[in-house]
Amino acid sequence: MKHGVKFSRLGRPSGHRRALLRNMVTSLVKFERIVTTKVKARELARAAEKIITTAKKTNGNANREANAYLLDNYALPKLFELAARYKYRDGGYTRILRLPNRTSDNAHMSVIEYVDNPFPPLREPKETRLAAIREKSQRKQNNMDKKRMLWEGPARVPRAKANSRGPVYATGEAVKKKPLISIEELGLD
């Protein structure tokens, strides 16, 4: 059971883990997009969101905290640019996108980036992706219909059943129609 597990230890002692996250946050602030493993990206997203929230507080203490956390003094002005960019956004500053697995050890790789960055997007907008999925589904359905026609041949003529529900078509569904001649008309009362 995983009771009380609030974060991933990343297979490192606490000091090493903290240094790793500080280094990755500094790189993310400087470059706005980095490639890492999926587990590290999830942990990095938490730390990166916290440092942006700290930078959005425009007081001297926030400046000191951010300066103490980042490992590169040149990343500090960039951090405050990011804070100004996300002035009206309440959280959700990062995005994690999956990549193919790493070939050497088959680790799950991903890209973590700040949203609204100046780079070209790594994937198409959602509407474009959904349209492509719908088009692919429609093509698949058309191909299945063509195959079904080859196997079943032309549509069959309905055959009559001995009950009063009406003719039954090749699909097995009864057609809701009145019988052609009712019992009263036959005079079998």
pLDDT single digits (tens) 161-178: 555 555 555 454 554 555
CATH number at residue 101: 3.90.1030.10
111, 33 contact by CB (below 8 A) = yes
Residue 144, pLDDT score? 79
Residue 133: C-alpha distances to residues 96, 127, 128, 143, 146 (Å): 22, 10, 9, 15, 20
Which of 88, 94, 93, 101 is closest to 34 using CA atoms? 94
DSSP state string for 61-125: HHHHHHHHH-S-TTHHHHHHHHHHHTTT--S--EEEEE-PPPTTT---EEEEEETT-SSPPSS--
100, 109 contact by CB (below 8 A) = yes
Residue 166, pLDDT score? 53
65 and 43 assigned to the same domain: yes
Residue 125, pLDDT score? 78
Structure tokens at 64: 């000191």
Residue 27: C-alpha distances to residues 3, 45, 185 (Å): 32, 12, 90
88 and 150 assigned to the same domain: no
pTM over 0.85: no
104 and 26 assigned to the same domain: yes
93, 119, 145: which is the final residue of a domain? 119
CB atoms closer than 10 angstroms to residue 27: 17
Instruction: Give the pLDDT confidence of 77-95 residue by residue, as tens digits.
Output: 999 999 999 999 999 999 9
Rounded distance between C-alpha atoms, residue 32 and residue 22, angstroms: 15
Residue 95, pLDDT score? 93
How long, in residues, is the chain?
Answer: 189
3, part of any domain = no
115 and 92 assigned to the same domain: yes
Kindly state the greatest CA–CA separation across the chain.
Answer: 103
Which residue type does 3 have? H
Which residue type does 118 have? P
Indicate the number of domains in the chain.
3
Q: Give the domain range for residue 146.
A: 124-154
Low-confidence ranges of the chain (pLDDT < 50): 170, 172, 175
In sequence order, the β-bridge partners of residue 96 are 112
2, part of any domain = no
62 and 136 assigned to the same domain: no
Residue 81, pLDDT score? 93
113 and 181 assigned to the same domain: no
115 and 60 assigned to the same domain: yes
